[in-house]
């Protein structure tokens, strides 16, 4: 691990000022915030992350979950995954979020990992994690070892000729289906970013994963009040029963009236280079009678643009069945 200067931020402005010294907030940042440490320390040990300054933000007052006056929810950036998953309001109104969190990692990691950190969770692509191999995300311009390499677990949606790395988060998939808003405090004040716009497609700059700039501190995430009458569910399919990343997952939030779908929010995990919201599937499903034919058409639409790699063509059908099964659970 490269040496670094350890700083502890006593307030948000100090953290922002420290982070603003970095030339980028993306891969290669010289200043990193640490909260849970579960991604950062892992990658620092691999020399994939080599920050010169590490700023501890655990003392900032960002660890609360609060109901908003409009019935929505405000989730602080340092709320631990375990606390968010077990929160009574989350379990009642946003079950898909609780289920996604509990499907991720282990109990120990969920006690450490935070809401803000999980939004920034890095890919598990083995080439990204191995500094002896080319990787455009880690070393832009060196090439993608995964294309034509070991790509069984990698993405089939949102890929480019430069990168096919999967976004590994379960929480992000649920937040995409819940249309969460991410609140950021930066050198120019506060701003809010819909989660659909927060993560970037790799394109020809896979080292850029989010819209965050130097100095940006995620302070909290907000959720709108639950859609009246909606039901939600998270299904995760993986190589073993627990403590494994998704091969395919689906987060669904659906409202049904008179056996017809009146509202659908659909996001897929394990298959996309970012948390994969499918507006196409939602549009096809809305107004349709519940049942396999409509669910299957929605799933076909969600995976229409899939580009399988040499080892992961199975993910196309797996993701479709995952979505169909998830839809059946809530209708």
Partner 1 sequence: MKKSAEPPGPDSRGGRLTRRAFLASAGTVGVATVINSQSLVGQPMNSVAGSEMKAGAEGAVTVTLRINGNEHHLRLDPRTTLLDCLREHVVLTGTKKGCDHGQCGACTVHVNGRRVNSCLSLAVMHAGDEITTIEGIGHPGALHPVQSAFVAHDAYQCGYCTCGQIMSAVALLKEPCGPKDDDVREAMSGNICRCGAYPNIVAAIQQVRGKS
Residues that bind partner 1 (CB under 8 A): 1, 3-11, 13-15, 17-18, 34, 36-38, 41-42, 45, 52, 54-56, 58, 82, 86, 105-109, 111-112, 241-243
C-beta closer to partner 1: residue 85 or 306:
85
Q: For 90, which DSSP code?
A: H
Nearest residue to 272 via CA among 195, 184, 191? 195
Q: Minimal distance in Å, beta carbon 117 to partner 1?
A: 11
Q: Minimal distance in Å, beta carbon 39 to partner 1?
A: 9
Q: Where are the alpha helices (DSSP H) in 273-313?
A: 279-285, 292-302
The C-alpha atoms of residue 125 and residue 130 are separated, in whole angstroms, by 9
Q: Minimal distance in Å, beta carbon 249 to partner 1?
A: 17
C-beta closer to partner 1: residue 33 or 198:
33
Q: Minimal distance in Å, beta carbon 140 to partner 1?
A: 25
Q: Which residues pair with 231 in a beta bridge?
A: 254
Q: Which residues pair with 244 in a beta bridge?
A: none
* C-alpha distance from residue 249 to each of 167, 172, 232, 270, 314 (Å): 12, 11, 13, 6, 14
Q: Minimal distance in Å, beta carbon 216 to partner 1?
A: 16
C-beta closer to partner 1: residue 124 or 263:
124
The C-alpha atoms of residue 41 and residue 315 are separated, in whole angstroms, by 30
Q: Minimal distance in Å, beta carbon 108 to partner 1?
A: 5
Q: What are phi and psi of 84, to 5 degrees?
A: -65, -40
C-beta closer to partner 1: residue 17 or 150:
17
C-beta closer to partner 1: residue 4 or 233:
4
What are the structure tokens assigned to 326, written together? 């998830």
C-beta closer to partner 1: residue 124 or 307:
124
Q: Are 177 and 265 in contact (CB under 8 A)?
A: yes
């Amino acid at each position: 691990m490269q040496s670094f200067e350890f700083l502890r931020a006593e307030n948000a402005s100090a953290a922002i000022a420290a982070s603003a010294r970095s030339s980028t907030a993306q891969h290669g940042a010289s200043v990193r915030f640490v909260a849970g440490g579960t991604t950062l320390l892992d990658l620092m040990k691999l020399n994939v992350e080599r920050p010169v300054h590490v700023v501890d933000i655990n003392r900032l007052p960002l660890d609360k979950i609060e109901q908003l006056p409009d019935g929505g929810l405000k989730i602080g950036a340092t709320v631990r995954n375990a606390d968010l998953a077990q929160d009574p309001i989350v379990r009642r109104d946003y079950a898909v979020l609780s289920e996604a969190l509990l499907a991720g990692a282990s109990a120990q990691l969920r006690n450490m990992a935070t809401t803000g950190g999980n939004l920034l969770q890095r890919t598990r692509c083995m080439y990204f994690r191995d500094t002896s191999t080319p990787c455009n995300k880690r070393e832009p311009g060196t090439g993608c070892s995964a294309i034509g390499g070991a790509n069984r677990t990698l993405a089939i949606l949102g890929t480019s000729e430069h990168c096919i790395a999967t976004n590994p988060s379960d929480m992000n998939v649920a937040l995409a289906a819940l249309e969460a808003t991410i609140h950021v405090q930066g050198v120019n004040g506060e701003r809010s970013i819909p989660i659909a716009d927060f993560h970037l497609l790799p394109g020809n700059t896979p080292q850029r994963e989010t819209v965050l700039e130097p100095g940006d501190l995620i302070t909290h995430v907000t959720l709108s009040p639950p859609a009246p009458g909606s039901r939600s569910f998270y299904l995760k399919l993986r190589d073993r029963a627990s403590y494994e990343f998704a091969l395919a997952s689906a987060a669904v939030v659906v409202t049904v009236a008179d056996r017809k779908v009146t509202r659908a929010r659909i996001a897929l995990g394990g298959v996309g280079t970012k948390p994969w919201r499918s507006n196409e599937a939602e549009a096809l499903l809305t107004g349709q009678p519940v049942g396999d034919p409509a669910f299957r058409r929605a799933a076909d639409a969600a995976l229409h643009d899939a580009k399988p790699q040499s080892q992961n063509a199975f993910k196309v059908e797996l993701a479709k069945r995952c979505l169909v099964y998830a839809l059946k659970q809530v209708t």
